[in-house]
């Protein structure tokens, strides 16, 4: 099964049933968690794209929020480690890192009281694999099997240390043979009480296998735009605007009755430079481009200050992210020197293709064009419609913007976007040393071997990779001041609301 990068972008990467306190927000005065109350949540969605099948492509934030609270995935993102248990309580692999066994949570049951079996999970994973949902599981249907009561086995053809991460979210479990999801009988912390036109009321699942949710209910309202969503939370119609963006965040920042929740490392905006051939094939040219940008200015202008500078390595929230690599700063004169040494033709104008996909993406291209002019690199920004961009530009053009809404491990990005074997190699990067480091990390038998391999592939990416990763945007949620313990991990974490409570 394929995974679609635009689906991941819309989702962006959740926290789990055992969410660490470090991954939760506790703004305002501290207080003892209180049981009860209804949390009114708004999320963006379009009526034409409403989807209730948990294994289908959930392009509406509102649908994904509802689904993630009603159904359980095997694992969910955590802070450190970056994978936390959910329906699977633990996992282990064989020595070759090819056969992974997931043990289901004790006493896990469906909302109607039926116990969850390994057969239910296998059927659900095979269905997800077969119908083409947005999953990253690299496992064939025949290689998803049971191993006795409460144990599910995933077998992959090559060593892969990332399997627990790759089954985070989307691996929602339903009853075996279920194809009608109107009743939405899941295993998650909330159960569906009512649903109409994209809006839902969810009530606490008293049978949930995880820590008991504190909220009595969550009411989810679908809004057609981020503007309408922001206006609703600013006007007090809802208690939480999920993934509402920087404009609403700036407006809410000065109000005592509201709080702005910043989820760091939520979205990456950057540039892909083709390394195999063309004007950016010389690594000196790519380094010059990286040295020619003013990263703090980009974060301030493009993300309205709601973000952080990055260092040309994908996977900034990974606990293995190498912070010892010096932060690259702007050096106009050094950039000019490198272009001269590479005999780069500064008399030409180079197209920078972009599309209005991620917030600020087109603006980032225009700011980059202005900044790069100062090192002698003349850039013309070409804005393309999204479908045309993926048909005509992605994977082939020499210079274009990219955006990723997940923040998985550095190894995930290395394997999926930079290895020679990847069919999504956005920069046409082929480096035997990098491929070898990636293979070592995927097959690592202990933490030390894994850490060393990840450090090597990050250094290579920094030195001669094809990406300019200038910054990470925060995810922005706006909530009423009385809402507590909202998730602050990036990406899909925003939908994991089972630990939230009302003061």
Cα 390-393-395 angle, rounded to 5 deg: 85
DSSP annotation of 134: S
Q: Left, alpha or beta for 240 (phi > 0: left; psi -120 to 50: alpha)?
A: beta
Whole-number pLDDT of residue 13: 34
If pLDDT is split at 50, 70 and 90, which confidence band does 156 have?
very high
Per-residue pLDDT tens over the stretch 288-332: 999 999 999 999 999 999 999 999 999 999 999 999 999 999 999
Distance (Å, whole) CA 169 – CA 77:
8
Where does 132-223 have alpha helices with state H? 163-166
Dist CA 238 CA 232 (whole Å): 6
Digit-coded pLDDT (tens) for 13-27? 333 333 333 334 444
Query: How confident is the model at residue 19, as a pLDDT?
Result: 32
pLDDT at 407: 67
Strand 199-204 to 217-223 pairing = antiparallel
Please check the confidence at residue 66 and state whether its pLDDT lies above 90.
Answer: yes
Per-residue pLDDT for 6 more than 60? no
Q: Determine which of 31-40, 427-436, 487-496 has the lowest per-residue pLDDT on average.
A: 487-496
Helices and strands counted in the chain (H then E): 14, 19
Give the tokens for residue 228.
């309408």
Q: What is the largest CA-CA distance in the chain?
A: 71
Which residues neighbour 368 within 8 Å (Cβ) at sequence distance 6 or greater?
271, 293, 298, 352, 379
Q: What is the pLDDT of residues 239-263, one digit of tens each?
A: 999 999 999 999 999 899 999 999 9
- With bands split at pLDDT 50, 70 and 90, how would you rate the model's confidence at 42? very high
pLDDT in tens, 363-419: 999 999 999 999 999 999 999 999 999 999 999 999 999 999 876 899 999 999 999
Binning pLDDT at 50, 70 and 90, where does residue 9 land? very low
The pLDDT, as a whole number, for residue 202 is 98
In this structure, the strands spanning 467-480 and 258-273 are antiparallel
- Give the residue-averaged pLDDT of 278-284: 98
The sign one gets for the Cα dihedral 64, 69, 73, 78 is: positive
What fold, for 265-474? Dipeptide-binding Protein; domain 3 (3.10.105)
Mean pLDDT to the nearest integer, 49-67: 95
Q: How many residues does the chain have?
A: 503
Q: Please, where in the chain does CATH 3.40.190.10 lie?
A: 5-257+481-502
Instruction: Say which residue the tokens 């969910």 belong to.
Output: 76
Average pLDDT of the residues in 198-216? 97
* pLDDT the model gives residue 8: 41
Task: Please give the Cα distance from 131 to 56 (Å, whole number).
Answer: 7
pLDDT tier at 77, thresholds 50, 70, 90:
confident
- State the pLDDT at residue 131: 86
Which one is predicted more confidently, 408 or 231? 231
**Mind listing the pLDDT tens digit for each residue in 464-482?**
999 999 999 999 999 999 9
User: Which runs of E-coded beta strand occur in 159-257?
Assistant: 190-196, 199-204, 217-223, 240-241
Neighbours of 142 (CB within 10 A): 9
Query: Measured between alpha carbons, how far is 189 from 208 in angstroms, rounded to an integer?
Result: 5
State yes or no: pLDDT of 3 exceeds 50: no
Write down the pLDDT at residue 454. Answer: 98
What pLDDT is recorded for position 135? Answer: 64
Strands 399-404 and 467-480 come out as unpaired
Say whether the peptide bond before residue 395 is cis (omega within 30 degrees of 0). Answer: no
Any residues with CB less than 8 A from the CB of 272 and at least 6 apart, and which? 399, 400, 401, 402, 426, 427, 466, 467
pTM of the model: 0.89
pLDDT at 408: 83
Which of the four CATH numbers 3.40.190.10, 3.10.20.30, 3.40.50.1220, 3.40.50.150 does domain 5-257+481-502 have?
Answer: 3.40.190.10
Average pLDDT, integer, range 157-176: 93
């Amino acid at each position: 099964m394929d995974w679609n990068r635009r689906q991941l972008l819309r989702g962006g990467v959740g926290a789990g049933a055992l969410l660490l306190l470090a991954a939760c927000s506790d703004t305002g005065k501290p207080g003892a968690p209180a049981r009860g109350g209804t949390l009114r949540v708004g999320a963006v969605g379009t009526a034409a794209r409403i989807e209730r099948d948990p294994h289908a492509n959930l392009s509406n934030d509102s649908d994904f929020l509802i689904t993630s609270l009603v159904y359980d995935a095997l694992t969910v993102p955590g802070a450190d480690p970056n994978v936390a248990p959910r329906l699977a309580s633990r996992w282990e692999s064989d020595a070759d890192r090819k056969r992974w066994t997931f043990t289901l949570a004790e006493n896990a049951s469906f909302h109607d009281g039926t116990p969850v079996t390994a057969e239910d999970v296998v059927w659900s994973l095979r269905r997800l694999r077969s119908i083409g949902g947005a999953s990253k599981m690299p496992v064939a249907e025949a290689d998803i099997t049971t191993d006795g009561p409460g144990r599910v086995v995933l077998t992959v053809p090559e060593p892969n240390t990332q399997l627990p991460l790759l089954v985070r979210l989307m691996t929602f479990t339903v009853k075996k043979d279920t194809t009608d999801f109107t009743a939405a009988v899941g295993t998650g912390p909330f159960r569906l009480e009512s649903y109409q036109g994209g809006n839902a009321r969810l009530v606490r699942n008293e049978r949930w296998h995880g820590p008991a949710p504190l909220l009595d209910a969550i009411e989810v309202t679908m809004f057609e735009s981020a503007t309408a969503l922001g206006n609703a939370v600013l006007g007090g119609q809802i208690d939480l605007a999920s993934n509402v963006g920087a404009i609403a965040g700036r407006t809410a920042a000065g109000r005592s009755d509201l709080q702005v929740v910043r989820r760091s490392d939520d979205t990456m905006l950057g540039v892909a430079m083709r390394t195999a051939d063309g004007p950016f094939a010389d690594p000196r040219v790519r380094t010059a481009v990286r040295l020619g940008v003013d990263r703090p200015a980009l974060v301030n202008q493009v993300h309205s200050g709601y973000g952080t500078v990055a260092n040309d390595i994908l996977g900034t929230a990974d606990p293995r992210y190498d912070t010892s690599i010096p932060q690259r700063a702007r050096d106009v004169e050094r950039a000019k020197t490198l272009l001269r040494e590479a005999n780069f033709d500064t008399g030409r104008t180079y197209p920078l293709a972009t599309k209005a996909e991620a917030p600020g993406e087109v603006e980032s291209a225009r700011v980059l064009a202005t900044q790069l002019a100062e090192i002698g690199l003349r850039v013309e920004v070409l804005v393309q419609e999204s479908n045309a961009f993926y048909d005509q530009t992605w994977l082939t053009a020499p210079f274009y913007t990219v955006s990723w809404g997940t923040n998985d491990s550095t190894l995930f990005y290395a394997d999926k976007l930079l290895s020679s074997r990847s069919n999504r190699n956005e920069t046409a990067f082929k480096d035997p040393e990098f491929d070898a480091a990636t293979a070592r990390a995927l097959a690592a038998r202990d933490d030390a071997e894994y850490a060393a391999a990840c450090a090597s592939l990050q250094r290579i990416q920094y030195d001669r990779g094809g990406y300019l990763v200038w910054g990470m945007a925060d995810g922005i949620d706006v909530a009423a001041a009385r809402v507590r313990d909202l998730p602050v991990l990036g990406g899909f974490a925003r939908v994991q609301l089972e630990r939230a409570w009302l003061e």
